[in-house]
Structure 1
Amino acid sequence: MGVIDDFVDEYERQFDYWEAAARTAHALLEAELTSSGLRAIVTSRAKSVDRLADKLQRRNRDTPYNSVADIGQDIADLAGVRVALYFPGQIDEAERLVEATLDVHQVKRFPPDGAPAAIPPGPTATGTNQPTATSSATPEHSRRFSGYGARHFRVRIPSSRLSAGQARYGSALVEVQIASVLMHAWSEVEHDLVYKPLEGALSTSEHALLDQLNGLVIAGEIALEQLQKAGDVRVAAAKTPFRDHYELAEFLRTRLSALGSELSDATLGRVDVLFEFLAQRSAATATAAAVEPYIDRLEQDFERRPAAAQLADLMLSADESRYNAYLAAMSAARHASEGRRSTAAISKADSEDTLALNEFVDAWVMLETRIRDLGELGDARLQSLQAQFRLLDSRGLITPEQHLELNLMRNLRNQVFHGRSAEVSPERLREAAAWLRSLTAEIDRRAGER
């Protein structure tokens, strides 16, 4: 047996491993895309044994493999994930989301900047191979359109995103492809035609027709981008409730872009939870008009504090019923990513964790209520927590040391209310609740002495 047969036999024995690794990356990306309000179709697969053997035989004819290790270094698409975006204009945002979710080792863009048109390198989330010589087999035909347009990533899944039972998938190299739904469809058609040498090389007219179809796909992508922009304008102007969190995300993107904010993977955050929170309160609150007053109050630290989290903070403002509604919204969000545990995931009736959480919520709401009732702070409901704390410090109602500790408490609160409550012990929550109650009483005393 040769090195190719050895590699294929070993891969066939490990097929279930690669398929599971692909599914794991798929689940993570799909959850992140969904919660951020990016419409996409996400699929995954482990490379079929037959296709792998065919691919290795083709590549071996050009550059013979000397060992199984050589093949392992050459083939990076044993596990693959495909992201087919509805709107091609969101590809940059999707790329940043991939970089934030997975460990990216290599990025390839098709076609490369300044390069001639490229043909798709492989089918269904397959390789990052360099374009083959297929297109040069008919030199009499010159492409008029740009060909395959996509982003390919070679990634590994971070250990922080894996459960104990999934740890072994952290070493798997996975390929992620991002392109529009139209471009993915065109690349499938072209690949299946040009990679079938037994049926003969394509004629000049067939290449010309594929080129023409590529032009139609590019025109379709332009139309989709215009459709996206038109939809953003419609949603921003509408007085009716958002139909889903995708519409809320489109509204936020439009408004933040108008304010000059640079969109990124972290800009929006858990829009699905925010939408669920708004919808649970009432239909009237899940509208652009209800969200609009808070937009200008956002602080421009979106990489650290996503827009959805900041908006939720402003809307919660000293209202215990709203805090409870937000916790319920986190529980109801259907697409929480693996490795991210929501606050409500721990909520068994009368459990130690839930009792400690309730104690912390009560203490925090009591503090916020007292701050809001201090007339000298103005309309605290429309101010960020950081701004409220600065005002307390400047008015002498808290000491600089208490200001620093209060910011630490704010970080703890963000852990609890924005998805990382599993990292906080009940003992820590109770200690924090006691400190918050003590601070509230001290603020009352100082305010009364003035």
Structure 2
Amino acid sequence: MNNFNVFGKIVFMLFSLLFPYFIYGQTNVVLDKLTTLESYLKVYDANVFDHSNQYLRSNDKGVWNGIPLKEVYFYDEYFSSSIDTSVKNSANKLVAYLEQTYGDNLIVDQGYYRRNYAVTTRAVEINVYLDLKEDDSMTEDTGGTLSVSFTKVIDNPLANLSEELQSNKEGISYELVIVCENVLPTILVNGIPILAKMEKGKYSLNKAIELNKYILDKETPIDLSFTFTPGIDENGKLMTTIPKKSSIEIALEYVNAKGNVTKSVQLYDNSAYVTDTIVKNGETRYSTYYGTNEYGMKEVLFNHQFKAPVDYKLAGWSNGKDLCKEVNLEQRIKQFYADYAALILNKDINNITQLLYSSFLEKYTYNYNNTEQKSYHDYEDLEYMLQNIFKVVTAKDTKLHISNNGQLAYLEAMDKTSYLKAVGIDYIENISFMFFIDKNTNELKIIR
């Protein structure tokens, strides 16, 4: 009996000594105050977690703005965790917090197996993935993950734009959807080519082209012009006429902020089932396949004009001079590119910012400041380019395009995918601009 009491005292003393270690793995780390990269790094560098070593830093439990978490893992510039479903309605509370706090900046994307709630600001990027299929509703035990990434905030006018502009969740984007087979397309908006040069040997296309960048307001008509010429045969040679086994489908789609198509207008469709009659050895058979009845033509031409009821009004190039009257316009544009290339090589971010600001301001107006790519991301991409390039390359063969109203100019590279290329190790940035000349200052300016 006495021995048992002694043993019991020893066990009690050991438990008392080790108890803090038992509960340490169950402590909640409060994450609410981690709102900037600097505040996150203070916690990360202190390395005060349940499980901490040079390879792994984690906490068994955590709390983020009142939402219970588990399995919280800490990395150089972000942390990730699972939603603690042992506490009922954790996922519901998390979504409610995001909706209330971030409003129009919250983007919801439904995949087949999971639903993503994404928020991007200059300082943080939040992603919540819930285990919900398309038609599922949240329940009290819905599970998922939360990750929060932190970014260094740079005080630059380009980077600031998305924080300064309101997001418009009601704004409609217009997309031109081109699906074609065995033909080579050329597409112009108001006389300006909008389709990147196709790769050699590529003669099929399935592409959506955003049109808002060419739309200044809801009153100005937009002219679309299409030319389709014969594609390339199986031997890599350009065909002389459009073949039977080809097709062209063109649609104009209205897309809301969630990426859903709210309306689709078919502009052109020459696809059909074509039947060949084959006579061989006195026997007749028929071969039916997907193609077109408009075969044998040298080209297919099509035009369409429309007005887009956009929810913005841009100055754009409306204050531009008539470029058709300008002397040496192409040379002036090439000189602009040469000067811009020098800024790139000199890593002159301040002057590049000044040149790009107006076009960036309009970009985040016509996309309603509502895309996942924000101005601070564009700025980061610009910085990355400047840090990683070591030379620039320009096109030799060019073609100058002037818009139908004479105010907008674009220099197309015929021998490259863009007029100017910034080249680094395993890195190439294609750079092409559209220009106008300000009536008041006679200055050549980037606008797109």
How would you bin the TM-score normalised by the shorter chain?
under 0.3
Q: Which has the larger radius of gyration?
A: 2
TM-score by length of 1: 0.23
Is the strand fraction higher in 1 or 2?
A: 2
Is the helix fraction higher in 1 or 2?
A: 1
Higher relative contact order (CA 8 A, sep 6+): 1
TM-score by length of 2: 0.23
